[in-house]
Amino acid sequence: MSLGMSEARGGTDGAMRLRATGPLTLEAAYDRALANDESIDIAYQELRNAGLQPLSALTRLAPQLTGSVSAGRDLTSSGNRTSTVIVSGLQTTTGTTTTGTTGTGTTGTGTTGTTGTTNTLSTVNVGTATSATGSTSLNLSQPLFDASVFPAYRSAKLSLESSRLSYASTVRDILYGVANAFYEVLKDQRLVQVDREAVDLASGQFELARAREQAGETVSTDTLRAQDTAAQARQTLVQAENNLILARVNLANALSLPNPERLALAEPANYPVGSAAMEPQIARAMDRREDLRIDALNIGIADQSRQTILAEYAPTLSANLTATQEFSGGAFGRRSGNDTDVQATLNASVPFFTGGQRELDLITARHNIAKAKLQLGSLAKTVRTDVATAYLQVKTLQSTVAELRVQVEANTRNYQVLSTQYSAGLSTSLDLQSALRDLNNSRAQLVSNSSDLEVARRNLDRQTASFEDGRVRQAVERVAKFGGLFKSLSSAK
């Protein structure tokens, strides 16, 4: 990961070194996740790509400059031929004939001799000539009017806002995932502590039962029952310790931390308890949820796509300036000359008929708009259910934790009383084993539900898009600062 990316998305190296000297706090875990999580990296790259789309739409009206070069070569030839007739015995030169464009032949005379053999010799001389041709062309085209530019630009701006919201949602989900993993480690640590105490109590009870059996005060079934309870407690402890190891590994992976077995966590403060009723929470979610706002933007994007298709019915206008130079060289290197031509044209194009494709595209665009509206309505129902579920889960856990505290206190006193009575022979081993199980179960449930309550409170705020809102806003603003194309995002809600 580059330094610029790390600074753009999250914490600073100084803060990491400062917090690395002690137990890891939840706030430090948030900062480290913002600086190292790959999902945030992916959302950041998507946001950068979306920032290029408005500029891409405007390039439809940008000038275009093209050039071309061509060259060729022609070959021509000319020549002459000389003929000689030889007669054996007496030689008679019949003459020399020169061939060419124009010419005459000459016949000589000689002495007639005896008849002999006649031979003819021919000589051919050939000459060649070349001529070169070529041209260079430079064309400048400037679109003057294209109606599709405007809806394409508006669609790109909507896509950019959608990517910004998606980035914010990703950051919020990652932070919630870190909180969930953080409290999972804390919960498993407390469960290991509870199970260790349960092993100590069960082992002490086993020793007491065996001592009483050896003294003849009780039967062997008490000792066997206590031994079974101690074995179950040790088995539960091993499972809890393994769960703790796995929870530490998951948190270390989420934060890109080495040595998960040495991971020490600081106890975070209790999360603020909201006082709003369920309906105001639902209304808050309907107004703030990023996924709802993204689906609403998708309706606008689909409508701009329809507007782009409608713009294809409008004419397009462009201006062109073309400069062409042609040159040629004559035969045997003689230069013929150059010709230069400059043309300026104004082109207007009106698409009268395209085979019906635009009409089909319009029908498809209308279907996409209707689909986007249905998706928004379906998501709104899901959001209402999610918020109601999260709200009621918090209420249930609050009541459960309060009742479990009462149960733990009662079961602790009950076990202490029965343990004293069993030592005095006033209660049975079965009563004592049952009291120990009730105590261990209520303590474990209190630990689990207390941790789950802290996570559930954060989940309720996540469902209403208010969880770590300040940190999420800072992350988006920091990306806007480091990405030159996204400066406008820092002022967006």
- 181-193 pLDDT per residue, tens: 999 999 999 999 9
In this structure, are residues 138 and 65 in contact, taking their beta carbons and an 8 Å threshold? yes
Residue 341 forms part of a structural domain: no
DSSP structural state of residue 271: P
Residue 100 forms part of a structural domain: no
- Cβ atoms within 10 A of the Cβ of 89, count? 9
What φ, ψ does residue 79 adopt, rounded to 5°? -170, 175
Q: What is the pLDDT of residue 481?
A: 64
Residue 170 forms part of a structural domain: yes
Both tokens of 123, joined, read 């000589």
**pTM (predicted TM-score):** 0.78
DSSP structural state of residue 269: P
Rounded to the nearest angstrom, the gap between the alpha carbon of residue 103 and the centroid of all alpha carbons in its chain is 86
Q: How many domains does the chain have?
A: 1
Q: What is the pLDDT of residue 423?
A: 86
Distance in angstroms (rounded) separating the CA atoms of residues 324 and 134: 11
Query: 3-class DSSP state for residue 116?
Result: coil
Residue 406 forms part of a structural domain: yes
Beta bridge pairs of residue 347? 318
Residue 24 forms part of a structural domain: yes
Alpha carbons within 13 angstroms on the beta-carbon side of residue 125 total 7
Distance in angstroms (rounded) separating the CA atoms of residues 139 and 324: 9
> CA 86, 92, 93: angle at the middle one, nearest 5?
80
Residue 12 forms part of a structural domain: yes
Residue 192 forms part of a structural domain: yes
Neighbouring residues of 339: CB distance < 8 A, sequence distance ≥ 6 = 325, 326, 327
What φ, ψ does residue 343 adopt, rounded to 5°? -130, 135
In this structure, are residues 209 and 222 in contact, taking their beta carbons and an 8 Å threshold? yes
What φ, ψ does residue 352 adopt, rounded to 5°? -75, -40
* pLDDT mean by block of 10 residues, the chain; 493 residues: 45 44 89 92 91 89 90 65 48 42 41 47 56 85 91 94 94 96 96 96 92 87 92 96 96 90 89 85 95 96 94 90 81 58 89 86 95 96 97 96 97 94 87 93 97 96 94 88 47 39
CATH code, domain with 434: 1.20.1600.10
Separation in Å, CA 13 to CA 26, 50, 251 = 17, 29, 20
Distance in angstroms (rounded) separating the CA atoms of residues 420 and 203: 16
Distance in angstroms (rounded) separating the CA atoms of residues 309 and 364: 10
Distance in angstroms (rounded) separating the CA atoms of residues 479 and 388: 33
Distance in angstroms (rounded) separating the CA atoms of residues 215 and 217: 6
Q: What is the pLDDT of residue 79?
A: 55
In this structure, are residues 458 and 179 in contact, taking their beta carbons and an 8 Å threshold? yes
Q: What is the pLDDT of residue 295?
A: 96
What φ, ψ does residue 115 adopt, rounded to 5°? -70, 135
Quote the crossing angle between the two packed helices 149-214 and 469-482, to the nearest 10°: 140
- Cβ atoms within 10 A of the Cβ of 263, count? 17
Residue 153 forms part of a structural domain: yes
308: domain range?
3-65+146-317+354-491
Integer-rounded Cα radius of gyration of the chain: 46
In this structure, are residues 22 and 488 in contact, taking their beta carbons and an 8 Å threshold? no
In this structure, are residues 129 and 6 in contact, taking their beta carbons and an 8 Å threshold? no
